[in-house]
């Protein structure tokens, strides 16, 4: 009789042990991946996922092209990866380079966001440059596309653009289309809606108007001389380097 009791106790203990193990597994196993994904989501989720998705790269293989001048780098004629270098200061945009086989090929540039074409002109340092008005996290920004072949741009000032729309092609390297620079795209995101304060119809008081005139065209500048000026710009790669 005693033996049977002992065997029964062993069996009961064994069953309880197995059941508790099964229950434990049931509780922990599916939980692990869930909590991991939740953590990842929290870390990688941008503040406004809709905005992130509404931005498109200006060129294919965009992130592979950022090899020389990323956003915010301080350039001098001595340290520049581009020689000879005509500029110095903090780079207000991201430069997207062409691949060697693209030298003599038309490279189409696409709108990175949906908005309106706000400016289209030739400018020193850029050659052909266009500016698009867009929104980022509900705030207005101006997007500067530099070194384009102006005559290839069919859209006119005031026209609506959709993210991904073809804007035109890159200007030929070392020509007036690029203001003598190599063939590449300079893309800048400037905070605020103003483009050329001196040209806007908004009235300013006399002390301001001197400043704005002095900073004529300030928001399309490709380089600025201080960190505080650089803070007026956003790194486009956060949104378009995919």
CB of 46 to Zn ion, least distance (A): 24
Contact window for Zn ion (CB under 5 A) among 14-22, 95-103, 124-132, 229-237: 95-103
- Out of 90, 186, 237, 240, name the contact with Zn ion by CB under 5 A: 186
State how far the Cα of 113 lies from the Cα of 108, in Å rounded to an integer: 15
CB of 121 to Zn ion, least distance (A): 17
- Judged by beta carbon, residue 110 or residue 186, the one nearer Zn ion is 186
Q: Examine residue 177 and tell whether it contacts Zn ion (CB under 5 A).
A: no
- Judged by beta carbon, residue 120 or residue 147, the one nearer Zn ion is 147
- Judged by beta carbon, residue 95 or residue 132, the one nearer Zn ion is 95
| Ranges within 97-116 binding Zn ion (CB under 5 A) | none
CB of 113 to Zn ion, least distance (A): 19
State how far the Cα of 241 lies from the Cα of 56, in Å rounded to an integer: 9
How many CB atoms are located within 10 Å of the residue 115 CB?
20
CB of 28 to Zn ion, least distance (A): 52
- Judged by beta carbon, residue 149 or residue 186, the one nearer Zn ion is 186
Long-range contacts of 172-180 (CB under 8 A, 24+ apart): 173/103, 175/127, 176/122, 176/127, 177/127, 177/128, 177/147, 177/148, 177/149, 177/150, 178/126, 178/127, 178/128, 178/147, 179/123, 179/124, 179/125, 179/126, 179/127, 179/147, 180/86, 180/127
Q: Examine residue 132 and tell whether it contacts Zn ion (CB under 5 A).
A: no
CB of 234 to Zn ion, least distance (A): 15
Q: Examine residue 95 and tell whether it contacts Zn ion (CB under 5 A).
A: yes
- Judged by beta carbon, residue 91 or residue 120, the one nearer Zn ion is 91
- Give the length of the chain: 242
Side-chain half-sphere CA neighbours of 46 within 13 A: 12
- Judged by beta carbon, residue 73 or residue 150, the one nearer Zn ion is 73
CB of 95 to Zn ion, least distance (A): 4
Size of residue set near Zn ion by CB under 5 A: 2
CB of 103 to Zn ion, least distance (A): 18
Residues near Zn ion, by CB under 5 A: 95, 186
């Amino acid at each position: 009789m005693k033996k049977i009791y002992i065997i029964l106790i062993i069996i009961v203990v064994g069953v309880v042990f197995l059941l508790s193990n099964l229950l434990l597994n049931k509780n922990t196993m599916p939980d692990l991946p869930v909590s991991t994904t939740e953590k990842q989501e929290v870390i990688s989720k941008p503040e406004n996922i809709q905005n992130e998705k509404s931005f498109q790269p200006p060129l294919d293989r965009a992130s592979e092209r950022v090899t020389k001048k990323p956003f915010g780098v301080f350039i001098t004629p001595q340290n520049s990866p581009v020689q000879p270098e005509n500029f110095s200061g903090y780079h207000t945009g991201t430069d997207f380079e062409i691949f060697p086989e693209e030298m003599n090929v038309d490279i189409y540039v696409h709108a990175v966001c949906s908005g309106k074409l706000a400016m289209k002109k030739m400018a020193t340092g850029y050659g052909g440059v266009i500016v698009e008005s867009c929104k980022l996290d509900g705030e207005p920004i101006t997007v500067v596309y530099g070194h384009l072949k102006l005559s290839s741009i069919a859209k006119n000032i005031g026209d609506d653009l959709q993210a991904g729309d073809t804007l035109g092609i890159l200007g030929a390297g070392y020509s007036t289309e690029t203001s003598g620079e190599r063939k590449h795209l300079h893309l800048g995101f400037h905070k605020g809606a103003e483009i050329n304060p001196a040209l806007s119809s908004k009235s300013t008081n006399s002390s301001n108007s001197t400043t704005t005139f002095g900073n004529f065209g300030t928001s399309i500048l490709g380089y600025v001389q201080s960190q505080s000026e650089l803070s007026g710009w956003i790194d486009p790669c956060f949104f378009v380097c995919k």
